Structure 1
């Protein structure tokens, strides 16, 4: 029954009743304030009354609304606007938390006061009091029916909306927490993926290095065997050399003995030459004397004349022989002198040869000693090379085992990479569902929605950087938003955030939020430039500042900031 005419007929508010109400309006205008004071004083004594009804300013607003409404009723302004205003009163009281029991009881109190005022005014005139009391009762019930209908409808809507809002509120927390957990897990997976890829790459390199090492061990082992064989041959050659050196020493001893003997013989020959020289000297003397005798004989033969001619011939022959002997002795002396000079040089050479042989004997002795030392060293080296060869064989076997294990690790690393990637793809689906759920929650009036969603945004920001490091997403630093353009930044610098300006957590939020974006953009720039380690260092800073941002956001949430 929404039509005003139908309602007036149903509640018997005809022209007579409206006229009675209008006649009583001046009395109402004079007495409405005390009646309303009694009403609100009475309900303030009830247990569990809302705090809003204890505030003087709120009471004045409610009283003013009530006063105007009762003036409208007693003025008989029953039209569609009256229905809307009456319905609005019921809605306002519902918003203030006044229950139907309190509202009806309070309304009954006002009606009682109004009827008491009628009896007080027209107590001696029942013909005026009765129609007026009936009109007041009908108007009060009409007003109560409209306001209570609005009260119940709005209460139902409020309850439903409140229930939905409470559900959305709790769902928002769960969605934000789930988003943060999923994204933190994705960040961890991205980090694991990056680490596994690094391990996989390192393992492949280690496997290749070990394979090369095994090949190197094999080559060294082969070379060691060859060196050992060569050392054995060198040892044999050294031993042969020692034997040859000993034989050479013996031969040089014999040569030295022979030279000494020859030197002795040369000395004897020199003495003999000297004796021959002495003999030649004697012969020279004899030849000189013979020559002198021949000269004398010739002189005497010349003196003898003819008789001495034969003697002169003999003397001439003797002189010729003496001359010949003298020349022969001169030649012999010259040859003996030459022989003696040669013998002297031979003696010197023989002495030098003897010294050289002696020196050679010393050198050969040193060579023999050195060759003996070399032989010992070669023997030790040969034994060491044999030991090295054995150790290398063991190392080759161990390296083969390590190589097999490393290859197994490499295969496991490759599988782990694929498993983590599959896990991250699955988590991306969860992230997509959470994002859709968060978008649905935008339709609800959820307290601190921007602040709460900002927590999730920060983890998503870190996740994108982690995905970049893992090679799952490419980012352009020039396209990334700074701290003023993201969801949190737009709210932070908007009029909507004014209610937070007085709180220290709000003021403290700006710097770490700015650092999160600055270091994130720098991480992307470094990564794109090939500096992965530098990018990881910047992401670590993002994580540090992001945790501070989330802590401050939690502080704002705990303070129930709108």
Structure 2
């Protein structure tokens, strides 16, 4: 990760290329000026050289022109006299500060020499300069060809050094001489060097001026870049601070950024405000859902408490009904025994009939009590079924809330994914909320299954209780018939055997019914135990939902909305 801030990166991005550009421009301008200076020096060198050529040629042309009057005498004087006059003229003629003329024959014999007259008469055809160049041969050649220049190296007495020298020669046809003149050209380099130094100074001054202008331009550009960068970085820093406050600070979702421009930075600020608004609305919806979930959990706890109380009461009533049924079975058995004894002892039929009357009365009372308890048990089971239906409704409400929470968590995960790195923390929260919502749905599905089982058992218990109530009514009616039979026994002992048989049969049937009622009551007790277990599991689920509600409240509490 780079240690430079965004502001520093932007400034470097602006200033470094600008500095490189300015330096490159300075280098190119300096190189171009230097190139122009070199070209100018070459032009100056050519100009001076050409000037010397023209001057040297003019000197020779002037000298030959001045010799024309002398040469015009060739027919009137001897050749020796003519050569002497021409030689004297050339020896006496000087130009350009000690410049001299010379003349030689095509064979290389020196005919005149203004600087060294001792060379006259000597053949110098094979003379060479410091580089081994036969310059006199070339001078003769140029002269024969109508005139020309020859450049060679020769000693300069004033410097006592070999320097460049330029000679021009042309033919003097009257004497068949090659007349020429020479001039040192070492001063060309000196003049060019002086001019080059002046040009170099100008190049340096120009480079310094360009550098100062470029430096000023860079400083102004940096100043402008700082202003623009500050205007750009300010909203970006505000966005970063806002995101840091949401992720690490108080989680204030109500804060909004000031949109100070209509460029990409302003669009980012506006997008952040829109995103914060969506997250704020989402967290508010989750908070509302948590409140609804808390209310539903409270209602479910109330239902669970009421169900536990009803189940406890059902256990108690079932135990009483079982006791009554056992007593009824015992009474029926006793009736059967009494009926058998009455058949064996007809003589004591009246006494046994009185006992039977009492027994029947007790049986009727017990059966009536059993019928009332069965009715009460049926009402309790109906209430249990109603409460189970209510629990089912509450479970449906919880399931709906879980679905809504799951949907809200999914939306939050999507929005967090859109936010990228900044929304990763909230994405983790959304995943945890969605996981808890799925667990809530699983728990409510299990509770729904238990409630449906409880409702089915309750309906079956109600059906059994209705059957038991009908049997109780029938038993009461039969007991009434038995009572009437016992009254008849006191008046007609002759029919006692028949009546005892009927009583025995009724007692046996009553015993069977009592056993069936006892079995049904045991089933009701089992259902009550199952209902109690379901209520306990529902209570545990309610506690888990309460913990989930607490965790969600803690998560949502991290945000200010």
TM over 0.5: no
Higher relative contact order (CA 8 A, sep 6+): 1
Higher-helix-fraction structure: 1
Which one has a larger percent strand, Structure 1 or Structure 2? 2
TM-score, length of structure 2 as denominator length: 0.30
TM-score, length-normalised on structure 1? 0.30
